[in-house]
Amino acid sequence: MTTHPDLLIVGGGPAGVSAAVEATARGLSVLLLDENPASGGRIWQALEARGASDQDDEAALALLQQFRACGAQARFRATVWAIEPDGQVFWSAGGTAHASTPARILLATGTTERPMPIPGWTLPGVMTVGAAQIALKTGGLVPHGATWIAGQGPLLLLYAVQALRAGGDIAGIIDLSNPAKNWPALRHLPAALPAAADLAKGIMWRRAVAKAGVPWLRADAIRAEGDTALERIVLTAHGQQREEHADTLLLHDGVIPSVQLTRALGCAHAWSEAQRCWHPVADAWGTTSIPHIHVAGDGAGIAGAWAATLSGRLAALGVAHALGRIDTATRDAAAAPLRARRQRHLAMRPLLDTLYAARAPHLADDTMVCRCEEVTAGDIRQAVRFGCLGMNQLKAYTRCGMGPCQGRTCATIAAEVIAEARGLPVPDIEPLRTRFPIKPLRLAELVDFAEE
């Protein structure tokens, strides 16, 4: 194992593998670490095992093959849990801790689904659409019977189509998007035309779902109910309530960058109003406010898988240049066509971001916000009444964000609840300070490490 690679990449999804291919082609030694059993990230998860089912998959498989052949060292089932300010990276695999001291670090950690808190969302049987999609891709699990999908965004349709194709059936899709956004979204349609193929795909998915006879319901709100697990869902539309039997409810409200590592490192972040989330600040080469830390892919801002492959390559070029392996003219010449292609992939974003704009959640007091520590919206409002101003004070008041997930799920929502209670915009609320280790590890791993 190279302990001093030129470039250490965290994450083997579209951005990470693309960066590895580009960096090795420029003569850099690369170590890539990923928590999963294989490369591909979420979008291409288990793709090499499943095989291609369309042209996009074929292109993805070709890229994963290139990655295998590129000479980068890769460790899967490897979890990065700390990065020191001097650039030392600590990670564990198979119960053993390791340290690497790369010249540069590229964080390509992708996204998590935006949490979608509804009453009853902690009941067993309520999962995310992304979770069901992972179960489909890795284990061939398909929805059957009283399985409902609710929320907004392209993944709702994509998952439904994939599930139907795999022989599943869906009780219904509940569209919670804001219909008032349809008209404002239309003005972004001309700009989206360079991505006409993606637009066509969306229309095809909608048709396939309709053809399969899956009911499409529009609703303003949804709640999950049951005693020890999900038993039914209750929809509200036009002031009317409708109850349906349910054993599985899949929620989705788009994706947001995973900022656990960049936050813990202290990188500067900026608020995206269009995507209603924080993202690390980076220059055209993915360099963050900390010069040896780079970001690429959706972890740097949501743009999709193919845009991520290009931002990964651009970051690799930036690193190769910074390490003196290529001159400025070579870097810029190689980057120009990548930037042009990336721009075409970004054409759809304003349309999607408007059509599926995340809304300020107006949670009932008894809706759970911090699933780990069981802190409700009402608990948070109470803390604000007692003088709590931001996320880090909230920890002391309520333990919100201090459970095993370390705020991955609740931090986004809790900030919304505080903002609403204080009558301020969300970016004015001090965000959660993330601390290393960003994933729990066993004391034995640390002890063995110290004795090495």
Partner 1 sequence: MLVRADPGSLTLTFEGRTIAAREGDSVASALLAAGVRSTRLTPRSGTPRGPYCMMGACFECLAVVDGAPNVQTCLTPVRDGMQVERQAGPRGVEDAA
**Which residues lie near partner 1 (CB under 8 A)?**
35-37, 42, 46, 49, 77, 112-113, 122, 124-128, 130-132, 134-135, 138-147, 167, 228-230, 247-248, 258, 371-374, 403-405, 408-409, 440, 443
Q: How far is the CB of 304 from partner 1 (least distance, A)?
A: 18
In angstroms, give the least distance from the CB of 384 to partner 1. 21
* Complex with partner 1: residue 124 or 337, whichever CB lies closer: 124
**Residue number, 359 or 399, with CB nearest to partner 1:** 399
What is the separation of C-alpha 78 from the centre of its chain, rounded to a whole number of angstroms? Answer: 19
CB of 112 to partner 1, least distance (A): 5
User: CB of residue 280 vs partner 1: minimum separation in angstroms?
Assistant: 18
Closer Cβ to partner 1, 75 or 181, answer by number: 75
Q: Give 125's DSSP letter.
A: T
Token pair of 410 as six digits: 């609740």
By beta-carbon proximity to partner 1, the closer residue of 269 and 408 is 408
The minimum distance between CB 357 and partner 1, in angstroms, equals 23
| Shortest Å, Cβ 205 to partner 1 | 20
Instruction: Name the residue nearer to partner 1 (CB basis): 21 or 97.
Output: 97
Find the shortest distance in angstroms from Cβ 153 to partner 1.
16
Q: How far apart are CA 452 and CA 439, in angstroms?
A: 21
Rounded distance between C-alpha atoms, residue 95 and residue 116, angstroms: 33
CB 170 within 8 A of CB 157: no
Residue 168 or 280 having the CB closest to partner 1: 168
Euclidean distance between CA atoms 218 and 180, whole angstroms? 13
Crossing angle of helices 391-398/377-385, nearest 10°?
100
Closer to partner 1 at the Cβ: 231 or 430? Answer: 231
- Determine the Cα–Cα distance for residues 40 and 17; give it in Å rounded to an integer: 8
Which residue number, 246 or 335, has a Cβ lying nearer to partner 1? Answer: 246
Residue from 106, 335, 297 nearest 327 by CA: 335
Of 153 and 318, the one with the shorter C-beta distance to partner 1 is 153
Q: What gap in Å lies between CA 7 and CA 184, rounded to an integer?
A: 43
- The minimum distance between CB 329 and partner 1, in angstroms, equals 41
Q: How far is residue 414's CA from residue 142's CA, in Å, rounded to a whole number?
A: 33
Q: Which residues contact 348 (CB under 8 A, 6 or more apart)?
A: 192, 195, 198, 199, 304
Rg (the chain; Cα; Å)? 22
If one counts every other C-beta atom within 10 angstroms of the C-beta of residue 395, the result is 20
Residue number with CB closer to partner 1 (314 or 363) = 363
Q: Strands 96-100 and 240-245, how do they pair?
A: unpaired
Q: How far is the CB of 337 from partner 1 (least distance, A)?
A: 33
- Residue 138, exposed/middle/buried by CB under 10 A (0-12, 13-18, 19+)? middle
For partner 1, the closer CB: 5 or 254? 254
User: In the structure encoding, which two tokens stand for residue 217, read together?
Assistant: 């319901």
List, in order, residues 6 or more apart from 273 with CB less than 8 Å away.
Answer: none
Burial 297-310 (b: 16+ CB within 10 A, else e): bbbbbbbbbbbbbb
Residue 314: which of 290, 329, 334 has the closest Cα? 334
**Cα–Cα distance, 312 to 318 (Å, whole number):** 10
Spacing of C-alpha 355 from chain mean position: 19
Residue 374 beta carbon to partner 1: minimum distance, rounded to whole angstroms: 5
Q: Which two tokens stand for residue 344?
A: 């075409």
CB of 181 to partner 1, least distance (A): 26
